[in-house]
Amino acid sequence: MASGTSRNPPPFPTNDETGEGLSNLADGDSDEGEDIFVSNSMSPGVCQPVRGGELPAGDASSHTSAQSNGVHSDEDNDLFSDAQLSTDKSGSSSQKELSSSSSSRPISSFSPRPAAMPTTSLEQLEEEEDKDTFDVDVAVTNPEKVGDGMNAYVAYRVSTRTSLPMFKNRTFSVRRRFSDFLGLYEKLSVKQSLHGCIIPLPPEKSVVGMTKVKVGMDDPSSVEFVERRRAALERYLQRVVAHPLLIQDPDVREFLEKEDLPRASNTQALSGAGFLKMINKASEAVNKMTIKMNESDTWFEDKLQEVENEEQQLRKLHAVVDSLVNHRKELCGNTAVFAKSMAMLGNSEDNTALSRALSQLAEVEDKMEQLHQEQASSDFFIFAEVLADYIRLLGAVRGCFDQRMRAWQRWQEAQSSLQKKREVEAKLLWANKPDKLQQAKEEITEWEAKVTQYERDFDRIGMTVRKEVLRFEKEKTKDLKTQIIKYLESMLQSQQRLIKFWEAFLPEAKAIA
């Protein structure tokens, strides 16, 4: 094996990992070119259970890229599996059966290829890329109202397509309701093992919106509300499955796969602006800390400041885009009204050619109204919503930093408890009370263990946070770029249609005599 790996940056682990590690090869998360953990990714301190399989994943990479709404995980410099290249040169990596690749590897069925090859196959693969190449692809569709009256709710179809072996099937779908999504978030957010991770946020509850929907799903504002929520839920799930750790999580798997999910209770806390409230409360607690942490390197402080600045600016941008959406909707309405007025004027005009031209103008304005409507929708769904997502996600990032602080706090408190216990022991020694002394010694051992544990936790969380932030930033960059470019493309389409409208009108205007 090692012989054929001249191209692969990380050395292969030994064979004993292949068996188990490969089944968990889900995450194509070997993207950290600048990953500072490459060397010590083997350390058990890193709370990533499948890290052992990470390195081989470098070549069996399956990408968890999501679809249109643009949450993309990193596909950049991943090298594809050699086995894959040799078995399937056409580039369609839909058959990314990890089991086959694992079996072919020990046999060394591949031959070393020149370094140039991977890039061309990369391009090839990317060119022929469609959803088949993604490892896990989720979509949220078909919102349907279930039940009647105030107990009604909307059920969404969550469809998954995957090539990961840990799932029972390759494609499957389940029905979920909104509280299920919230429940998933809640389960994930309390897991110790995921501390320090940036857990994606589901959309917020909206009493007003839901009440309207419960009453009837037909009017345009309800339709818009449901669509907005559906899109947000989809983006949420796409981010979840794009996260290398979360896709491993049994709760996530259960959410995607299990037919009937027990009803999530306790989602009350997550109502309204619940998330940000939670995060902000945590921040307050951190700020009230009396002992200030002595950072050995300023990375955390600097990063947190950056995050806060960015969040603030994104908020401003979002507010402006929101305003644009509203003004465009207004423009839409006013244009429609004007078009009618123009048509009336055309009717009264007694010069026939002018009358016809005015009617044509009214039609052009009508078409403009539709254009404005679509543009407003694009403003909203492509741009504004994504900005809103990231504002909340940046809040979640801040939350991670706070988690780290709390871990530090816990460690410090444990240390001071240990100190106190030692003082007690010293006193007891002096007072010569052997029975109590024994107890004291036991307590000291206990606390020593705790101190060690908490210190390790703190270090682990620190590393997780760093890693997560880097991953997040890459994802964010890609996501925002893609969305903005998509937005610009929609603007472009608008302009092109505008040209068509006016080109059609111009001869009519010139024909006036």
Residue numbers 303-342 binding other proteins by CB under 8 A: 306, 309-310, 313-314, 316-317, 320-321, 323-324, 327-328, 330-331, 334-335, 337-338, 341-342
Phi/psi for 179 (5° steps) reads -65, -25
Of 211 and 309, nearer to other proteins (C-beta) is 309
Residue with Cβ nearer other proteins (92 or 193):
92
Compare residues 205 and 478 and give the one whose CB is closer to other proteins: 478
Helix runs in 2-127, H state only: 16-23, 54-57, 82-87, 98-107, 116-127
DSSP class of residue 44?
A: T
Q: Map the footprint of other proteins across residues 94-123, applying CB under 8 A.
A: 123
Contact between 126 and other proteins per CB under 8 A? yes
Task: Report 459-478 residues binding other proteins (CB under 8 A).
Answer: 473, 476-478
Q: 155 pairs with which residues across the strands? A: 144, 177
Tokens of 502: 């006016």
Q: Which is nearer to other proteins, 94 or 221 (CB)?
A: 94
Query: Mask 128-157, x = binds other proteins (CB under 8 A)?
Result: -xxx-----x-x-x----------------
Tell me which residue has tokens 């999530």.
264
DSSP H or E run through 459: helix 434-510
Residue 288 CB partners (closer than 8 Å, separation 6+): none
Given the complex with other proteins, which of 1 and 354 has the nearer CB atom? Answer: 354
3-state secondary structure at position 159: strand
The minimum distance between CB 187 and other proteins, in angstroms, equals 25
Comparing CA positions, the residue from 162, 13, 10, 163 lying closest to residue 98 is 163
Smallest separation, CB 478 to other proteins (Å): 7
How many binding residues for other proteins (CB under 8 A)?
A: 79
**139 or 188: whose CB is closer to other proteins?**
139
Q: How far is the CB of 125 from other proteins (least distance, A)?
A: 11
d(CA 199, CA 270): 14
Burial profile 164-188: b = 16 or more Cβ within 10 angstroms, e = fewer: beebeeeeebbebbbbbbbbbbbbb
- Which lies closer to other proteins via its Cβ, residue 137 or residue 457? 137
Instruction: Name the one range near other proteins by CB under 8 A: 9-17, 20-28, 205-213, 491-499.
Output: 491-499
Shortest spacing between CB 109 and other proteins, in angstroms: 29
Range list of β-strands (E), 101-249: 136-146, 153-162, 171-177
Give residues 337-376 in contact with other proteins (rule: CB under 8 A): 337-338, 341-342, 344-345, 347-351, 353-354, 357-358, 361
- DSSP label at 80? P
Could you say which residues in the range 61-90 bind other proteins, by CB under 8 A?
67-70, 72, 75-76
